Each structure stands twice: as structure tokens, then as C-alpha cells.
Amino acid sequence: MQRVFEALSSPVRRKILAYLAHADLTAGEIAARFEISKPAVSQHLSVLENAGLVTSEKKGQFVHYRLVAEALANTLNGYVQEVCPVSRPLKKESAALAGKASRPTSD
């Protein structure tokens, strides 16, 4: 959970997730969408992967990155339910959606 929130604190990383929400992309395709250097993007991708928000698969020379939407939804929804009494009514639905995704670890 710490790693997830840490990962989400960067605008660049949130933008990467937004791109991956539409389609899987290679490291190079992602880097091309930013003005910063490729190694910088690669480091951001590592942070996202360590947080469990994306996964990577090497295909030949290319590394394809994919969003792990369940991890994101599970962690954020879980946190909101934990802190906000207001959202408790949604608990059941959200849990159902989280489905087979792994539970977020405690702080």
C-alpha cells in the first residue's frame, strides 16, 4: 500500500497509468510520450512495477507494459472504505469487483 501511494504521487507515473489504461505499450512507446529521457521513464516504470500497478513482459527486444487495474482499484477502494465512513455502503460492490486481485497489505 505504501508503494502504491508513493507510485501515485508522481504526475508522470499517473500519466503512464492513464496511457496503459487505453492500451498496452512498450517501454519505448511510453517514453516517446514524455519529454524526459528514456532512463527516467524506465525508472518510473520500475516504481510502478514494484508497486504492483503494472506488469512487464519481454517480447524479443521489446518490453510490453500492462496496467494491473485490479491492483489499483483494490488498493484505492480499500483505502477509501477504511477511512471514509461515507463510502461504506459501496463496500460489497467494490469487494466483488476486486475479485481475484490480491488484497492490499496493511500499511
Partner DNA sequence: TCGGTATTTAAGTAATAGCTTACACACGCG
Partner DNA sequence: CGCGTGTGTAAGCTATTACTTAAATACCGA
Interacting residues toward DNA by CB under 7 A: 6, 9-10, 12, 26-29, 31, 35-40, 42-47, 56, 58, 60-63
Rule CB under 8 A: say whether 82 interacts with its own copies: yes
Are the C-beta atoms of 56 and 48 separated by less than 8 Å? no
Do residues 27 and 41 touch, judged by C-beta distance below 8 A? Answer: yes
* Orientation of helix 69-83 relative to helix 91-98, angle to 10°: 160
Cβ atoms within 10 Å, residue 93: 10
Q: Does the footprint of its own copies cover residue 31 (CB under 8 A)?
A: no
Specify the residue, 11 or 60, whose C-beta has the smaller distance to its own copies.
11
φ, ψ for residue 101, nearest 5 deg:
-65, 150
Select from 35, 58, 59, 89 the one that contacts its own copies (CB under 8 A): 89
85 near its own copies (CB under 8 A) = yes
43 binds its own copies per the rule CB under 8 A:
no
Cα–Cα distances in angstroms (integers) from residue 24 to residues 30, 65, 79, in the given order: 10, 6, 27
**Contacts with its own copies, residue ranges (CB under 8 A):** 2, 5-6, 8-9, 11, 14-15, 17-18, 21, 67, 69-70, 72-73, 76-77, 79-80, 82-87, 89-90, 93-94, 97, 107
